[in-house]
Structure 1
């Protein structure tokens, strides 16, 4: 996927205010509109311009895009930095114009095709509920297993009087319920946009993601551990201790186990109405052969075992 420099597309500096963005779009839209332009690539440029304007005219999308930094060049291979969207609060959101499905893969990777749904039109009156806001937060696996209270920091883009985007920060103490999974949301009532008049404030929806864990990976409600074992433990069987997110447990390795053998601890995954399972995936580890004694041991195995692991390949 290629990086798109939206400022370059619109001929703007990164410090441009909203009025400058609007003027640049109007000028370029007239130049490249397919109905009037004689430029050979007018349609493609017009679509690219519309995508750039969709991002830069929206304070939330622009602030998120700016968070990627300015070291990228247009056309470079690109993937979003890890956790680039952590704690970034989007209020209302929405596609404010154009067809999101016509936008590039770069746009979709950052903002999704149907994410940031358009906000409802606010009716006249004095009891208008505030819009919901959205943010993504990263928690530890152990927070989901045990439940936790955490302090989180959120960043919200707002427009100042000069039409420039300013970032405001706020901290919240939140309760993380047991068993929450990646992709699920925690709803904080009344923490979204304030209402009009006597209208209630909207809610804050926190999308959950897990921090990368040095030992475990999660799939649905199941937890996986790649467990190194010796060749003799795999072939002869063994009883060993293994780590889990709630402490060490004894695990019996059956004789004749193979590389990749999967062993299940039922109900030891994420808490749920039907709890997930904990899977141990055996990874056979070979001892090093740095000493003469170790090399001699391997040579003895070579002579004593009539073993060709490539028989199935016909060689």
Structure 2
């Protein structure tokens, strides 16, 4: 018998979506085969992915809570097709025991246990003849800012609908944003018999970056400048997510925190206007001064009447 999905993720049965997602992220980072070289890690990773794909989908989770490991054999509209005919307080729930299969359905109004094959045979003409489409599934696709900017082909390893590790080739469009979904048609849960498979949706998660901060398609980057560049103005280089270096003009008399906008240098948008890049100035001073530098700063301090703390 498969392990309980809640046990796999280490969450209670009443866990909300955020708890489930936090538990999944923590375990996926720990057991990903590219990180954890323990031979048992791959098996654990596929188990974690399968549990998350079910418990993060409200429809699948609802059926899993009712039917346990047999939930994939149950149509999504089972309540309409079965429960509606059960009478007041009707519906079915799974219990353990009875018969060689170890599971039977009991009605909500006290009827005796009903064998699963008999149940489906009565309502659908035999479980073997049910045509149940596969369920859609979802997983996360972590990307760096640069990968999201460029797009391109990625190879990822996930547990498939049977729980086995499988490699998927993914075409990432340039300029994907955090939370955007990429659809892999027919790569979700398997259908019953000749029914079509569901789709696999990969939700993009852009990882924190040491330089860039994203807000939609706009990109923010801190730009260190010297005191004289800030005071006198000038042209300085600024990094961009494309990997190229742009030039930005620093107006004379700029202070730390001033934002300089580079139009269209943010994340690309294949269907519209590119985002912008905002360089946020940060004035830096030398940690150690030469004798000449110290003399010049002392001369400046003596002749300047500028007081940044003066109340205007």
Q: Structure 1 312/168 Cα, relative in aligned 2: closer, same or farther at 3 Å?
A: farther
DSSP 3-state at the match of 2:302? helix
Q: How does 1:1-315 map to 2 (within 5 A)?
A: 18=4, 52-54=12-14, 64=24, 67=27, 88=49, 90-93=52-55, 94=57, 96=61, 120-121=76-77, 124=124, 125-155=129-159, 168-246=164-242, 247-272=244-269, 273-312=272-311
Instruction: Encode CA deviations 1:8-36: one digit per residue, 9 max, x unaligned.
Output: xxxxxxxx965xx8xxxxxxxxxxxxxxx
DSSP 3-state at the match of 2:228? helix
Q: Structure 1 290/211 Cα, relative in aligned 2: closer, same or farther at 3 Å?
A: same
For residues 22 and 285 of structure 2, the distance between their equivalents in structure 1, rounded to whole angstroms, comes to: 51
For residues 62 and 169 of structure 1, the distance between their equivalents in structure 2, rounded to whole angstroms, comes to: 22
Instruction: Return the TM-score normalized by structure 2.
Output: 0.61
Q: Structure 1 217/170 Cα, relative in aligned 2: closer, same or farther at 3 Å?
A: same
For residues 232 and 301 of structure 2, the distance between their equivalents in structure 1, rounded to whole angstroms, comes to: 19
Q: Structure 1 65/214 Cα, relative in aligned 2: closer, same or farther at 3 Å?
A: closer
Unaligned runs of 5+ in 1: 1-15, 22-50, 71-84, 98-118, 159-166
Instruction: Return the TM-score normalized by structure 1.
Output: 0.60
| Maintained 8 Å contact 1:226/1:280 | yes
DSSP 3-state at the match of 2:311? helix
Q: Which moved more, 1:127-136 or 1:289-298?
A: 289-298
For residues 153 and 68 of structure 1, the distance between their equivalents in structure 2, rounded to whole angstroms, comes to: 11
For residues 300 and 168 of structure 1, the distance between their equivalents in structure 2, rounded to whole angstroms, comes to: 72
Q: How far 1:131 sits from its partner (Å)? A: 0.4
Q: How far 1:157 sits from its partner (Å)? A: 9.4
Q: Structure 1 62/292 Cα, relative in aligned 2: closer, same or farther at 3 Å?
A: closer
| Maintained 8 Å contact 1:178/1:271 | yes
- C-alpha RMSD of the superposition: 3.5
| Maintained 8 Å contact 2:224/2:282 | yes
* Counterpart position of 1:77: none
Q: Structure 1 290/202 Cα, relative in aligned 2: closer, same or farther at 3 Å?
A: same
Instruction: Encode CA deviations 1:112-135: one digit per residue, 9 max, x unaligned.
Output: xxxxxxx93457453221001111
Q: Structure 1 312/153 Cα, relative in aligned 2: closer, same or farther at 3 Å?
A: farther
Instruction: Encode CA deviations 1:270-301: one digit per residue, 9 max, x unaligned.
Output: 11112111111111111223544444343333
Q: How far 1:62 sits from its partner (Å)? A: 11
Unaligned runs of 5+ in 2: 31-44, 63-74, 82-123
DSSP 3-state at the match of 1:128? coil
* Counterpart position of 1:164: none
Higher relative contact order, structure no. (Cα contacts within 8 Å, ≥ 6 residues apart):
1
The number of aligned residues is 220
Kindly indicate which of the two structures has a greater share of residues assigned to helix.
Answer: 2
| Maintained 8 Å contact 1:88/1:136 | no
